[in-house]
Amino acid sequence: MAKLALDGGKPVRARKDFLVFGAPQIGAEEIAGVTDSLRRRWIGTGPKVGEFERAFAAYKGIPASRAVAVNSCTAALHLSILSLGIGRGDEVITTPLTFCATANAILHAGATPVIADVDPFTLNIDPERVARKITKKTKAILPVHFAGRSCDMDALSRLAKAHRLKVVEDCAHAIETEWRGKKAGTFGDAGCFSFYATKNLTTSEGGMILASGEAIADRVKRLALHGMTKDAWKRYSDSGYVHYDVVELGYKYNMTDLQAAIGIPQLARLEKNWKRRRAIWNRYQEAFEDLPVDLPMDAGRDERHGYHLYTPLVRAGAPRNRDVVLAALTAENVGAGVHYRALCDHPYYRKSLGWKRKDCPLASDIGDRTVSLPLSAALTNRDVDDVIEAFRKVLGK
């Protein structure tokens, strides 16, 4: 086995060719779209945001009036929770295996996040554990479709109906994901999407809310722009100035045309890029099957995986632990990530909410062992070869 770069050996890639984790695929269409917006001098919220909303709604098979573009998935989650009337004194059940924004959005709305541990195979929130957490204060369930694999939305929807709970889907990883033929983000009262730089579809920063009804969409749109009446979105359009009223206390969460100009061609390539990531995923599955790692499970027969993250778990008996693996990959000039350390292991939530590892032992174990390898449509075949070589080198005996 070759000597690790971490120990002074030759790295798999040259430093100048460092493979950045999650680097987006940006083409001539995105550059032309942004340039066009700059030349038109329409760089705030304008016609391209509307075009992007309509195209995304069409992809998801819902009316365009129920899609609202915002500046992040965090904003989408926050606005969705507020628009459903959830706030102080209410509890929202969610997963501990997620980015901090999921819990933070609940807290920003004044509600209390309650964590239900995950299924150790799918890494998604376990409906049976959700059921045990429901109390009189519970007002909503907030599932996260981890890495692009759908949660069991049948079971979660049954729980929500039985207990009269709202459902807000965190679809940050799940643009292309489906559960038994139905698209992620269309099951609950609101579906929230991320278009961050590392996502399957990027607008550099950005998000989208798919609302289950017009009333929710209208309130989301109002709250996203300072609490002004929805006609305020048109006040600088070519149809002429429109007076507006501020009817409630809102936020500054709107998307810009510069962001939408990137997202429109990204959406047009979404299915092509999905196929490319699936091919890379399959190569990884074959290449790593003999390593001391637990490989991520593929989607079941009735699901469609979004293939957003590839997250093998380093076994306890591996020659190097997860943190050493991360350092060693970096030394080989291959970027990697961690998705995620469990929320109950972060100091803020331990102090403010009293969470402990015993509250989510499965998620904590996963958080101690998970590594995210590059999985992007922008990867060349050589890039994929280098990832495979580096990961095999690092986990060799």
Residue 199 is among the residues annotated as catalytic for this protein: yes
Of the CA atoms within 13 Å of residue 206, those in its CB half-sphere come to 27
| Cα–Cα distance measured from residue 21 to residue 12, given in angstroms and rounded to the nearest whole number | 15
Q: From the candidates 48, 166, 183, 199, which is the catalytic residue?
A: 199
Please list the active-site residues: 199
